[in-house]
């Protein structure tokens, strides 16, 4: 009888972790359309080692990003056109991504009066995409949550590649680690501040040692009276 009652309580969610539930609820309310921001990208390979771009969700579709710098210099017209066709011009990452991470198998590692740390055995579906392929089930993580207030905040997500794999037939990833950091703005909104990734592996003509970092700065709230529906760049100029 007692075992049956325990199973009923478990299935009903009566024992749901209140910290995780609060985090998920707040993450679900976050939208990339609420703030303008600056994103700074740096890496250790290729001709482009640094980019600084401004995001404004009130601009027409496809024009939300404005490239300000490439390698700490104003971008050339040629590179500007290339950037305008790149895949990096989608909406920026937000605190809402935590919903994907915590959709995996999560368990409590430690808890103090100030913070709780959870292990994510495998990330939830859609957490990490590589060239269109979902590799979330190859990556584990830890979520560090600040619990000093009645609104717990994930301050850091730590990621780790759990097994060697081949994203395509010429490349094998041996190891990979990542860190994502969040904080609250003065108005209380949780935002992403930093993403960093380090990957090592092999390829036919040598080894891979790739490092990349994204910094998110200068968050500015979008006015509440902005148009609710964006106007495309084509429609904007119609008579």
- Can you spell out the DSSP letters for 82-104? HHHTSGGGSPPP-GGGHHHHTTS
Q: How far apart are CA 191 and CA 181, in angstroms?
A: 9
Q: How far apart are CA 31 and CA 9, in angstroms?
A: 33
Helix ranges (H only) for 31-157 are 77-84, 98-101
The structure tokens 């749901």 sit at: 16
Q: What distance separates the 2 farthest-apart alpha carbons in the chain?
A: 74
Task: State residue 161's pLDDT score.
Answer: 93
Task: State residue 171's pLDDT score.
Answer: 83
β-pairing verdict for 171-184 and 153-161: antiparallel
Segments in the chain below pLDDT 50: 2-14, 225-239
pLDDT, tens digit, 9 for 90 and up, residues 82-104: 888 776 678 999 999 999 999 98
According to DSSP, the residues that pair with 221 across neighbouring strands are 35
Q: CB atoms < 10 A from the CB of 16, how many?
A: 11
Task: State residue 209's pLDDT score.
Answer: 87
The structure tokens 């998920």 sit at: 24
pLDDT, tens digit, 9 for 90 and up, residues 188-204: 999 999 999 998 988 77
Q: What angle do CA 106, 111, 115 make, to 5 degrees?
A: 95
Where is 68: in which H helix or E strand?
Answer: strand 65-70
The structure tokens 């990208």 sit at: 41
Q: Domains of the chain: which residue ranges?
A: 25-222
């Amino acid at each position: 009888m007692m075992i049956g009652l325990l199973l009923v309580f478990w299935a009903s969610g009566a024992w749901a972790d209140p910290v995780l539930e609060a985090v998920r609820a707040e993450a679900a309310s976050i939208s990339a359309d609420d703030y303008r921001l600056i994103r700074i990208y740096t890496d250790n390979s290729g001709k482009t080692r640094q980019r600084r771009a401004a995001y404004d969700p009130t601009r027409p579709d496809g024009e939300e990003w404005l490239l300000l710098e490439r390698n700490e210099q104003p971008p050339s017209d040629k590179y500007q056109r290339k950037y305008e066709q790149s895949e990096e011009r989608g909406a920026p990452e937000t605190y809402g991504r935590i919903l994907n991470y915590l959709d995996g198998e999560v368990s409590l590692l430690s808890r103090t009066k100030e913070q709780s740390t959870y292990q994510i055995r495998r990330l939830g579906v859609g957490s990490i995409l590589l060239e269109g392929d979902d590799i979330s089930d190859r990556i584990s993580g830890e979520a560090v949550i600040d619990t000093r207030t009645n609104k717990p905040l994930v301050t850091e997500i730590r990621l780790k590649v759990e097994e060697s794999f081949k994203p395509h037939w010429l490349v094998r990833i041996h190891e990979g680690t990542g860190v994502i950091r969040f904080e609250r703005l003065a108005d209380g909104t949780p935002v992403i501040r930093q993403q960093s990734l380090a990957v090592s592996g092999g390829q036919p003509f040598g080894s891979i040692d790739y490092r990349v970092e994204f910094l998110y700065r200068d968050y500015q709230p979008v006015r509440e009276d902005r148009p609710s529906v964006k106007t495309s760049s084509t429609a904007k100029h119609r008579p």
